[in-house]
Chain A
Amino acid sequence: MPSPVNGTVSAGTVSPMLGEAWRLDGSVALRPEPFGALAYHFGTRRLSFLKTPELVDLVRNLASGTVRDALVASGVPEPHWPAYTRALEGLAAGGMITRRETP
């Protein structure tokens, strides 16, 4: 499937992120749009496009539990998990989401 976030390409590997805890960075705001949402980082002035509503839910649901928990809570079908974790990795690389210590 096409990547739900810009600039990333999905690959069918299992991400080590699944068992980790992440959250939306404190400097990032989400703005809902018909396609999903804009994510803006006030510190780096970077804008990213979350291209599906599921990805928006996923990013919001990161606040509690592991990435795996958030995927389940967001209703993302398991075959699509690699594409979504790949999207999260892209957001992590841009500082849009940051690691939490405990799930």
Chain B
Amino acid sequence: MINKIVQTMADAVAGIRDGAVVLLGGFGNIGQPHALLDGLIEQGAKDLTVVSNNAGVGRTGLARLLDLGRVRKIVCSYPRTADPVVFEELYRAGRIELEIVPQGTMAERIRAAGAGIPAFYTATAVGTKLAAGKEEREINGRKYLLEESLPGDVALVEAWEADRWGNLTYRSSGQNFNPIMATAAQLTIVQAQHVVDLGALDPEKVMTPGIYVNRVVHVPYGDPMVP
């Protein structure tokens, strides 16, 4: 019997290695797997590369992981949020590497990784300083940049519902990066608000088929209280 449901947070985050590339779902606070982040903080892996749209808010979650010096590099589109104190301190002190990626290019690089596409051309960022070092090619009269896919060793995902095969649904704008990150890592770990019986999910509503998912932990925390 396949059962991807794990009973403890320690089991959920077991085996994340030092130096891992961690894909972290969420946009702002919505759809961000805070319990898994806390689990990762507890677990101890360091020298991490974190791929996340934002660079953490306040001093909890991702910001705490940064604050503890566990992240070598962050790949994101928008490190500037309402309260990115920890990231800005580290960045100004030269203690963290930053790779800025346009948000759509970041999403497509992750999607491409999950779909087995090593690189693709996009018009985004042509002629800007984010084009530095990238191959530029003209196709049908328009200029494009070659962007490489962005796979992870680990994906940390928040879902709304999950079953023991790892089939997932998401809640409204809580989808954001979660479904694509779930496809793009060697080890996909999910925290789910609701764990349901196999067969309870309408197959037409499954947004991430279980093939992409390795572990599910039940974290029924309710609604995110800040956006």
Bound pair: A and B? no
User: Residues of B at under 8 Å CB distance from A?
Assistant: none
